[in-house]
Amino acid sequence: MEIRFYNTFTNATETFQPVESDCVRMYSCGPTVYDFAHIGNFRSFLFADVIRRTLEFFGHKVHHVMNITDVGHMTDDASADGAGEDKMQAAARRVKEDKKSGRVPEGAVQDPDDPYQIAKFYTDAFLQDAQTLGVKVAFESDNILHATQHIDSMQEMIAQLIANGHAYVGLDGVVYYSVESFPSYGSLSGNTLDRLLIGAGGRISDENQANKRHPADFMLWKADSSHIMKWDSPWGLGYPGWHIECSCMARKRLGRDVIDIHTGGEDLIFPHHECEIAQTCGATGKDTFARFWMHARFLMVEGEKMSKSKGNFWTVRDVLEGRATGTQVHPAVLRLELIKSHYRSNMNFTRKGLLDSAGAVKRLTEFRTRLEAACGGKAEPVDLTYPILKEFAEALADDLNIAGALGAILPWASSTPSDPAAALGAFHRINEVLSIAPLGSTSSGAALDSGKHAAIEDLCRQLDDARKRKDFAAADGLRTEIQKQGYDVKTSPNGTIAEKRLA
- List of residues contacting ligand AMP (CB under 6 A): 29, 31-32, 40-41, 43-44, 69, 264-265, 267-268, 296, 298-299, 305-307
Residue 138 contacts by C-beta under 8 Å, 6 or more apart in sequence?
Answer: 66, 126, 127, 130, 131, 144, 451
**Residue 50 beta carbon to Zn ion: minimum distance, rounded to whole angstroms:** 19
**Residue 263 beta carbon to ligand AMP: minimum distance, rounded to whole angstroms:** 8
**Residue 101 beta carbon to Zn ion: minimum distance, rounded to whole angstroms:** 31
Helical (H) or strand (E) element with 500: strand 495-500
Nearer to ligand AMP, 191 or 284 (CB): 191
**Residue 269 beta carbon to Zn ion: minimum distance, rounded to whole angstroms:** 11
* Burial label, 482 (beta-carbon count in 10 A; 0-12, 13-18, 19+): buried
Q: Which of 26, 71, 151, 246 binds Zn ion (CB under 5 A)?
A: 246
114 binds, among Zn ion, ligand AMP, none (CB under 5 to 8 A by kind): none
**Residue 146 beta carbon to Zn ion: minimum distance, rounded to whole angstroms:** 13
417 to 185, 391, 399, 412, 490: CA distances (angstroms): 55, 16, 29, 8, 27
Rounded to whole angstroms, the Cα distance separating 455 from 59 reads 18
Residue 236 contacts by C-beta under 8 Å, 6 or more apart in sequence?
Answer: 173, 223, 225
Rounded to whole angstroms, the Cα distance separating 494 from 257 reads 50
Residue 259 contacts by C-beta under 8 Å, 6 or more apart in sequence?
Answer: 19, 25, 26, 27, 250, 289, 290, 291
**Residue 70 beta carbon to ligand AMP: minimum distance, rounded to whole angstroms:** 11
Task: Please spell the DSSP secondary structure of 139-193, one letter per residue.
Answer: G-GGGEEEGGG-HHHHHHHHHHHHHTTSEEE-TTS-EEE-GGG-TTTTTTTS--H
Residue pair 294/6 in contact by the 8 Å Cβ criterion: yes
Per DSSP, the three-state class of 350 is: coil
Q: Which of 29, 50, 65, 460 binds Zn ion (CB under 5 A)?
A: 29
277 is a site residue for Zn ion (CB under 5 A) = no
Residue pair 204/215 in contact by the 8 Å Cβ criterion: yes
31 binds, among ligand AMP, Zn ion, none (CB under 5 to 8 A by kind): ligand AMP
Q: How do beta strands 24-28 and 62-68 pair?
A: parallel
Part in contact with Zn ion (CB under 5 A); list of ranges 23-31, 342-350, 367-375, 446-454: 23-31
Nearer to ligand AMP, 268 or 319 (CB): 268
246 binds, among ligand AMP, Zn ion, none (CB under 5 to 8 A by kind): Zn ion
CB-closest chain residue to ligand AMP: 265
Rounded to whole angstroms, the Cα distance separating 411 from 406 reads 9
479 binds, among Zn ion, ligand AMP, none (CB under 5 to 8 A by kind): none
40 binds, among ligand AMP, Zn ion, none (CB under 5 to 8 A by kind): ligand AMP
**Residue 382 beta carbon to ligand AMP: minimum distance, rounded to whole angstroms:** 34
Compute the residue count for the chain: 503
Nearer to ligand AMP, 263 or 496 (CB): 263
Establish whether the linkage from the previous residue to 271 is cis, with ω within 30° of 0.
yes
Part in contact with Zn ion (CB under 5 A); list of ranges 24-32, 135-143, 228-236, 299-307: 24-32
Nearer to ligand AMP, 27 or 182 (CB): 27
**Residue 177 beta carbon to Zn ion: minimum distance, rounded to whole angstroms:** 15
Total binding residues toward Zn ion, as defined by CB under 5 A: 2
Nearer to ligand AMP, 357 or 496 (CB): 357
User: Which residues of the shown chain bind Zn ion in the complex (CB under 5 A)?
Assistant: 29, 246
